[in-house]
Structure 1
Amino acid sequence: MKCGVIGLGDMGSGLAKNLLKAGFETWGFDLEPTRLAAFRDLGGQSAQGVGEVGAACDAVFVMVMNGDQARAVILSDDGLLPQMKPGGVIILSATVKPFEARAIGADLVESGVHIIDAPVSGGFPGAQSGTLTMMAAAPHDVLDQFAPVMEAVSANIHRVGNCSGDGQTVKACLQSLIGAQFSATFEAAALAAKAGVSGQVILDVFSTSSAGCGVVNNALEKIIDRRFEGTGSSIHTMHKDLTISMGLGEELGVPLHTAAAAMQIFHAGRTKYPDGDNWVCTRVIEEIIGAELHRDGAK
C-alpha cells in the first residue's frame, strides 16, 4: 500500500516520518520547498502537486489548516479525487468544522473513493513520535482495511462513528475541554507569579495532584522555561479549534461558558503575539499584573 501526506508542517511531517518508519512508500506535497526538502531527506517521494500524490497512492492523509483548504485539496480539478483510483481512501486528519467534513464526505459518495474523518490529538510531540490519538469515523470495513496505515501514526484509534463529520464533532468536544485546561493553567501560572511562588514548585505540585495531566504539565513546562515560540503548537491552531467548538455549540444550542472564556484568552494572545505558541497567552496576563513565572522563581 502506498501512502501520501498533503501538508508537511509540524503535524504532517510527523505523519510522513512514521509512515516511512512503518515501511510504507510515502509521497508528500507541501507549498513550502523547505518542507519538501526535509521530507525527501527522510526518504519520502516529493510530488509536484496534490494530484500527483493522489495518482500514486492508495491512502492519503490531508493535514491542512482549515476546511476551505481541505475541500480544495480533495475536490478541486487538480486535487486528490480526480486522480485517485476507486477503492482508495482519503484520511481527513486535519481539524475542520463538522459540517465541512460532512459536505466533503457527501461529495465523495459516488466516486468510489472512501473517506475516513479522522482528526487527531497529541500535538507536535504526538505526531512526531507516532503516538497520536485518532478519532476515526467511517464504515467498519473501511476502517478495518486501512487500519495498518492509521496504526503507523497513532497509538490510540477510537472508532467514533460511521459518517464523515462524526470525528470532527468529537474533536470539537475535546478541544472545548483542552482550551479550558490551557486557560486555567495560564491564569494559575500568573497567580503564582504575582504571589511570588517559583515555577518549579508550581510544576511539582500541579503535576502530582489530581489536576495534573499532559495538557497542564506540558503548558507549565513551557511557561516556566519561557518557551513561547517554536514549540510546534502555534496559537493560531488552537484559536481555530476553539472557534469550531463555539460554532458547534451555537449550532446545537449548547452554552459553552468556559470554552468562550478560553477563546477570548487565546484571542488576546494571538492578537498580541501572532507568532507565538499556545503558552504565550500567559505573557498577556503577566504583562497586566507585572510579574512573570520562571522555573527558579517569580520575577
Structure 2
Amino acid sequence: MKTTGVIGIGDMGSGLAKNLIANGFTVTGIDLKPERCDAFVGLGGTLAKDAAEVGRAAQAIFVMVMTGDEAKSVLLGPDGAVAQMQPGGAILLSATVRPREAREIGAAMEGSGIHLIDTPVSGGFPGAQGGTLTMMAAAPDAVLDEFAPVMEAVSANIHRVGTKSGDGQTVKACLQSLIGAQFSATFEAAALAAKAGVSGQVLLDVFATSSAGCGVVNNALEKIVDRQFEGSGSHINTMHKDLTISMGLGEELGVPLHTAASAMQIFHAGKSKYPNGDNWVCTRVIEEIVGAELHRKGAT
C-alpha cells in the first residue's frame, strides 16, 4: 500500500503529509486555504480539486478537519471521498470530533466496503511535524494490522483503544479534559508568579524538574515566558473545541467535570479576547486582571 491521502493539510495535516511522504507514500491532499495547498505541493504532495478526487487516488485517507460536520461533508454522500474509494480502503479519522459523530460516520459507511479507523491523535504541532504523535486507534484488529504501516509513518505510539467507531474519540475526550486542566493551572501559576515578582526562567527551571513538570506544562510555560502567543501551531480554537467535546460527553454520561469546566471558561475567555491567539494567550487575560506579566528574564 503506497497511495494515501490527507484531507485538511493545516498545522496537523501538513505534518501527516510530510511524514507519509518521507516514508515513501504517495500523498494526495486538499485544503480550503491556498497557502496550505502551496506548502503541501512544496513538500512533494499531489493537490486534488476536491475530496472525491482524494478518494479516487488513495487507499488510506487521513481526515484532519476541525469539526464532525466538516468530516461528514468531505467523507459522505456521492461527492465524498468514501464513495470514490476502491473497496478495501480505509478512512483514518484523525480529527477530534464528538464520539457520537464518529459513530454516525461509521454507521453511514456500513456496506461501503471501506473501513473506518477512529484514531484521534495527541502531540500537537510538534508531534505532527516530527512524526511522533500518539494515536488512539479503534477498529477491528485485522483492520489495524493491515493499515499499521500507514499509521506508523506518522506516529510513535499507537494504542488500540477499542474496536468500534467512537471508541477512539471517547478516549481523546477524556485526555483533553486532563490536558485542559493542566493548561489552565499553568496559566494561573504563571500569572501568580508574575504578580509575586518571580522571573519566568526561575519558574520554568523549577517546574521542569518538579513532579508537576511534563510536556504539556513545560511547553506552555516556555511559550508564556517567551511571549509567543501566536503562530506556534496550537491555535486556541482547537483546544476550545476539544474541551467543548469533553464537557458534552460528561453531560451525556452524567459525569461532573468540575476542573474541566473551569478550564473551559478560561479558554472561553482567551478565545473571546484573543481569537487569533494560541492556547497560552489565556495567560494574557489573567495577567491583565492582575497587572503583571511573566517574562523569561523577570516579571514586569
TM-score interval, smaller chain: over 0.9
Rounded Cα–Cα distance in structure 1 between residues aligned with 2:204 and 2:89: 47
Give the aligned partner of residue 298 of structure 1.
Answer: 299
In structure 1, distance between residues paired with 2:220 and 2:168: 26
Show the counterpart of 1:194.
195
Partner of 1:268: 269
Letter in 2 for 1:235: I
Correspondence list, 1:4-23, <5 A: 4-23=5-24
- For 1:187, the aligned partner's letter is E
1:54 and 2:55 correspond: yes
If the length of structure 1 is used for normalisation, what is the TM-score?
0.99
1:223 and 2:224 aligned:
yes
Q: Deviations over 1:30-72 (max 9, x none)?
A: 1112111111111111111110010011000000000000011
Letter in 2 for 1:16: A
1:34 aligned to 2:40?
A: no
Q: Specify every segment of 5 or more residues in structure 2 that has no aligned partner in the other structure, as ranges.
A: none
- Give distance in 2, aligned partners of 1:40 and 1:292: 41
Please name the residue that 1:86 is paired with.
87
**Structure 2: distance between partners of 1:185 and 1:54:** 42
- The separation in 1 between residues aligned to 2:163 and 2:5, in whole angstroms, is 23
SS at match of 2:292: coil
Equivalence for 2:235:
234
Aligned residue number for residue 106 of structure 1: 107
Aligned counterpart, 2:64 = 63
**Aligned-partner Cα distance in 2 for 1:13–1:76:** 25
Specify the alignment match of 1:173 in structure 2: 174
What RMSD, in angstroms, separates the aligned Cα atoms of the two structures?
0.5
Q: Secondary structure at the match of 2:149?
A: helix
Q: What is the CA-CA distance between 1:79 and the residue it aligns to? A: 1.1
Q: Is the 8 A contact 2:176 2:243 kept in 1?
A: yes
Shift of 1:81: 1.2
SS in structure 1 of the partner of residue 157 of structure 2: strand
Q: 1:76: how far off?
A: 2.8
Partners of 1:68 and 1:286 lie apart in 2 by 36
Partner of 2:156: 155
Q: Is the 8 A contact 2:83 2:112 kept in 1?
A: no
Cα distance between partner residues in 2 of 1:35 and 1:238: 21
Aligned residue number for residue 282 of structure 1:
283
3-state DSSP of counterpart to 2:83: coil
Deviates more, 1:44-53 or 1:279-288: 44-53
What is the one-letter code of the residue matched to 2:100? F
Do 2:8 and 2:30's aligned partners in 1 also have CA atoms closer than 8 Å? yes
CA contact (8 A) 2:181 2:260 kept: yes
Looking at structure 2, the residues matched to 244 and 142 of structure 1 have their Cα atoms a distance apart, in angstroms, of 27
Q: Deviations over 1:119-171 (max 9, x none)?
A: 00000000000000000000000000000000000000000000010000000
TM-score (norm 2): 0.99
Residues of 2 paired with 1:48 and 1:74: CA distance?
15
Letter in 1 for 2:291: G
**Amino-acid identity (%):** 77
Helix, strand or coil: the match of 1:82?
A: helix
The count of corresponding residues between Structure 1 and Structure 2 is: 299
Where do 5+ consecutive residues of structure 1 fail to align? none
**For each residue in 1:202-225, what CA deviation from the matched residue of structure 2 results, as whole angstroms up to 9, or x when unmatched?**
000000000000000000000000
Q: CA deviation at 1:77?
A: 2.3
Which residue matches 2:78?
77
Secondary structure at 1:94 match in 2: coil
SS of equivalent residue, structure 1 residue 11: helix
Secondary structure of the residue aligned to 1:87 is: coil
